Structure 1
């Protein structure tokens, strides 16, 4: 048990799955969770860091870990405006990457979205693309960007459009083959597993991964 991890967004669809996986992974001696409120979990390897993400720089060495897992994300509908969405999916993610790197973190893994590009027509995809570019230039030993399609799983917060899409997804999956396979819906548990696997590979450089992983 020689590694340390930091999970941002530990109560979200992917983050909650990932936190449990890391806490039970013998490769990690400590897992730190960035959270706005107490998680209500008890584990000898868990260390909670409460923050509103506005003053991450004040956490200092608490961000110095081997692997940073960023599972932050919202939608424009839930955020309430373009500016509020961008604050979560760009500003908070990039601030975390910057502060953790300054503290000495080595590897950054982040959930983006299929179709992310700074030149995309959709605002959502452009914000994700800008985030990817910013994080990739932070100077980490390794950056792994995961681009899942529609996420499958039960959320605490209702998302009507996604709920409808989840019901339709199994019917569309057989039609999405070859290069289109990346657009298949994927369970949050599978994304969490992919993040865990990538972190332990120790592959340097900046990498973009579509899911499921090729291997």
Structure 2
């Protein structure tokens, strides 16, 4: 086992909102000696811990042992609108997520953390939520020793491509969040920084098996 202060983390999807926040926190965390970032686009970032892994967005062929890591953080995700079709959305949120998981597992990874979504269910009327649930189910079958599935609600992030409904929801979040208590607490809007911090906190726990987490995390 690696020393607790010499870990290698692999981040898939480091250019998205959650991925950017996560990458910054991992690089600042003394527990990690190396942080690998798997991305289609250049990060434009220099850091002594950072190792940038480039791929074409579909095939991981040729990366091999460079995907080896103690902890794998998967922040891959898109929307049907961004992807252009249901099939294109599924290629990212299901097939690519599974490809990363299987490739990392083949290199010895035993701890995998993934950002899913609140409401993920195979019985959901939403195609988005059904795909998220299928991905969760398939990840359980990969065989990681530890699997943490995070299901955040609306993500609060500073982006240029916010849809009007997202912008409005973010403005209302400070008013609505306090009203969402008990079982409804999972529907609170959450910052991408909070999601990233939750992932790192979960990775530090010595747990075995698959766990689903809603945010904010239970104590």
- TM-score w.r.t. the length of structure 1 is 0.96
Identify the match of residue 30 of structure 2 among 26, 35, 52. 26
Q: Which residue of 2 aligns with 1:143?
A: 147
| 1:124-161 Cα deviation digits (max 9, x unpaired) | 10000000000111111100000000000112433333
Q: Which residue of 1 aligns with 2:114?
A: 110
Does structure 1 residue 8 correspond to structure 2 residue 37? no
How many residue pairs get aligned? The number is 215
Q: Are the counterparts in 2 of residues 142 and 206 from structure 1 also a CA contact under 8 Å?
A: yes
The Cα shift of 1:57 comes to 3.7
* 3-state SS of paired residue (2:81): helix
* 3-state SS of paired residue (1:56): coil
In 2, Cα distance between the equivalents of 1:44 and 1:28?
11
Q: Which residue of 2 aligns with 1:175?
A: 179
| 1:164-187 Cα deviation digits (max 9, x unpaired) | 221222222122110000001000
Alignment RMSD (CA, Å): 1.1
Ranges in structure 2 where 5+ consecutive residues have no aligned partner: none
| 1:62-82 Cα deviation digits (max 9, x unpaired) | 111010000011111111111
* 3-state SS of paired residue (1:30): strand
Ranges in structure 1 where 5+ consecutive residues have no aligned partner: none
1:34-53 to 2 correspondences below 5 Å: 34-53=38-57
After TM superposition, what 4+ stretches of structure 1 lie above 6 angstroms from structure 2?
A: none
Q: Are the counterparts in 2 of residues 111 and 145 from structure 1 also a CA contact under 8 Å?
A: yes
In 2, Cα distance between the equivalents of 1:53 and 1:98?
16
Q: Which residue of 1 aligns with 2:72?
A: 68
- TM-score w.r.t. the length of structure 2 is 0.95
